[in-house]
Amino acid sequence: MKIVVCLKQVPDMESKFKIIDDKKIDESQIAFKINDFDNYAVEAALQLKEKLGGEVIIVSAGPARAQKDIRQAFAMGADWGIQIDDPAIEAGDNFVVATSLQQAIASIGDVDMVLTGVQAEDDQSSVTGVMIAHLMNTPHVTNVVKLEVNGKDLTANRELAGGKNEVIGLSLPAVLAIQSGINEPRYPTLPGIMKAKKKRLDVKKAADFGAAASAKTEFIKMFVPVSEHKAEIIQGDAKTAAAALVGKLKNEAKVL
């Protein structure tokens, strides 16, 4: 079984976000990490490989700093990877990125399954996996919370609202967007980290795989949302604030 995991490096969402010229994030204040949802996708791929054999290949579009997290996935157990390090792709929209990822996946050949996270924590679009599936002309399932493979047959549970799951049958090859909580992602071991350093990582430009797509959407600007409502912030050290809060809950809000 040949499994590709699309991985994105994203900012730690607890970082301090500062916007430069209404256009981009000031990266000097940002710590980067693997997109949380992709971490579950890596683990899902590794579990399938352990059961069925084969290889797990990481495909990622991102600048040089993304190598740290591609190698993190190598340390977890992924076999090798492709990094599309191309400013033109990074500047593109979801469609441009999805097209480039799909072209890189096509270059690998005979891929049985492509796993993505349900969304990237930074962009929150939830479209890339579905676009890749369409470009590959394969079926897809999003929000996957359970996965069973039996030869070329796949059974995937798709999460629905209110604790319901849709149990879906489909055939490989397929693209699955993995939801958080499907498994418990492993931590890299020390030998894993040592091995990861030597694993093959092909650093490529988009043009190495095909003609880049043109963006179908245009970014205008970014801004810090101004909320019409702000909580009444209770000041003071923990003890003072806690006492004041309990007082307000009893006497002002009258909910205790």
Partner 1 sequence: MAKILVIAEHFNGKLEESTLELCKAAKSLASALGAEPAAAVFSKDDAMAKETAKYIPTVFSVTDAGLENYSPDGYTQAAKAVVESQDVKGVLIAHSYYGVDFAAKLAMVLDAGIVSNCNKIAVDGGQVIFTRNTYNGKIQENKKVKTDKFVATFEKGAFDMEAAGGAGAVTAVSAAIGDIRTKVKEIVETMAGAVDISQAKVIVAGGRGVKDGDKYKDIIVPLAKKLNGEYAASRPVVDSGWTEAARQVGQSGKSVTPDLYIAAGISGAIQHVAGMKGAKCIVAINKDPEAPIFNIATYGIVGDLFEVIPAMMENL
107 class by beta-carbon count within 10 Å (0-12 exposed, 13-18 middle, 19+ buried): middle
CA–CA separation, 101 vs 141, rounded Å?
18
We find the least distance from the C-beta atom of residue 131 to partner 1, in angstroms, to be: 5
65 binds partner 1 (CB under 8 A): no
CA–CA separation, 174 vs 111, rounded Å?
9
Count the Cβ atoms, other than its own, within 10 Å of residue 8. 23
Considering the complex, state which of residue 122 and residue 208 has its C-beta at the smaller distance from partner 1: 122
51 binds partner 1 (CB under 8 A): no
- C-alpha distance from residue 101 to each of 75, 78, 205, 240 (Å): 22, 17, 11, 53
The first and second tokens of residue 138, run together, are 């394969």
- Residue 126, phi-psi category: left (phi > 0), alpha (psi -120 to 50), beta (remainder): left
Among 162, 190, 191, 197, binds partner 1 (CB under 8 A): 162
We find the least distance from the C-beta atom of residue 44 to partner 1, in angstroms, to be: 13
Position 186: which residue type? R
CA–CA separation, 155 vs 177, rounded Å?
14
125 binds partner 1 (CB under 8 A): yes
Number of residues that bind partner 1 (CB under 8 A): 81
136 binds partner 1 (CB under 8 A): no
Among 53, 64, 110, 223, binds partner 1 (CB under 8 A): 223
In contact, 234 and 247? CB cutoff 8 Å = no
Stretch that binds partner 1, among 43-51, 71-79, 84-92, 133-141 (CB under 8 A): 133-141
221 binds partner 1 (CB under 8 A): yes
Considering the complex, state which of residue 185 and residue 188 has its C-beta at the smaller distance from partner 1: 185
Stretch that binds partner 1, among 65-73, 82-90, 202-210, 240-248 (CB under 8 A): 240-248
We find the least distance from the C-beta atom of residue 100 to partner 1, in angstroms, to be: 15
The first and second tokens of residue 36, run together, are 């949380």
47 contact partners, CB below 8 Å, separation of at least 6: 183
We find the least distance from the C-beta atom of residue 128 to partner 1, in angstroms, to be: 8
Considering the complex, state which of residue 66 and residue 196 has its C-beta at the smaller distance from partner 1: 66
Among 109, 184, 187, 198, binds partner 1 (CB under 8 A): 184
Considering the complex, state which of residue 168 and residue 194 has its C-beta at the smaller distance from partner 1: 168
- Interface residues for partner 1 in 21-50 (CB under 8 A)? 25
Considering the complex, state which of residue 193 and residue 245 has its C-beta at the smaller distance from partner 1: 245
Cis peptide before 173 (omega within 30 of 0): yes
DSSP summary character for residue 163:
G
We find the least distance from the C-beta atom of residue 5 to partner 1, in angstroms, to be: 18
- Interface residues for partner 1 in 70-99 (CB under 8 A)? 93-95
The first and second tokens of residue 236, run together, are 């003071």
